[in-house]
A and B are shown apart, each in its own frame.
Chain A
Amino acid sequence: AQSVTQPDIHITVSEGASLELRCNYSYGATPYLFWYVQSPGQGLQLLLKYFSGDTLVQGIKGFEAEFKRSQSSFNLRKPSVHWSDAAEYFCAVAPRTGGFKTIFGAGTRLFVKA
């Protein structure tokens, strides 16, 4: 069955420290891959996406993600976290064929401590 797993329910990092949020997917073929961020009381905002080509993808707000086919992973990273990055992060996948139905992971809540 198609699924997206975000192993960490929540993560706490110090401001200025580096960040990595994990995402693993289970799909018949490599899907389109996305990371979204959701601030409290807000909708989801697209951070970045992977379709093909370079496996290291740059996004907004200084985030990047690396696609690793052999590990079926698409981990999100940021070299230096700011307090304003505290939010919930969702990994999502969509098939390259068919109805393009996007499936979201359960999310990882990021806490940033001063």
Chain B
Amino acid sequence: EAGVAQSPRYKIIEKRQSVAFWCNPISGHATLYWYQQILGQGPKLLIQFQNNGVVDDSQLPKDRFSAERLKGVDSTLKIQPAKLEDSAVYLCASSSSRRDVYGYTFGSGTRLTVV
């Protein structure tokens, strides 16, 4: 079974620039999550999708962050404009359902550095 694919692996941008991350979950997984992991901290949920609908985006800074999952499969997370404090690893995870009791499967993440 292929895992959760994310790209790019690394990205360096200047502040105020825009950036986009891509995630392809495990085939058949209806639920997709984006997490932000700042150095020295645990992952923090940014947004959760169930198929192509948003379930929880309460911690997404909507003035600069946006995410979509148009066909209920892969997803894109965008930051525009980026700030220095957005430097982090952005993790995508998927599960077979919202109440998947077997835990998530995570991708390897995209490491973003804003300079």
How far apart are the CA atoms of A45 and B103 in the complex, in Å?
9
Task: Select one of B40, B42, B101, B106 contacting A51, CB under 8 A.
Answer: B101
B105 CB contacts on chain A under 8 angstroms:
46
Interface size band for B: 20 to 34
A-B contact count (CB 8 A): 55
Query: Cβ of B25 < 8 Å from any Cβ of A?
Result: no
- Chain B contacts with A in 9-41, Cβ cutoff 8 A: 40-41
Which residue in A43, A90, A102, A106 is a CB contact (below 8 Å) of B4? A43
Chain A contact-residue range equals: 20 to 34
Known: A44-B91, A102-B104. A90 touches B42 (CB 8 A): yes
Known contacts A42-B108, A99-B48; 16 additional CB pairs below 8 A are: A36-B103, A36-B106, A43-B108, A44-B93, A44-B106, A46-B102, A49-B101, A49-B103, A51-B101, A90-B42, A90-B43, A99-B98, A101-B45, A104-B42, A104-B43, A107-B42
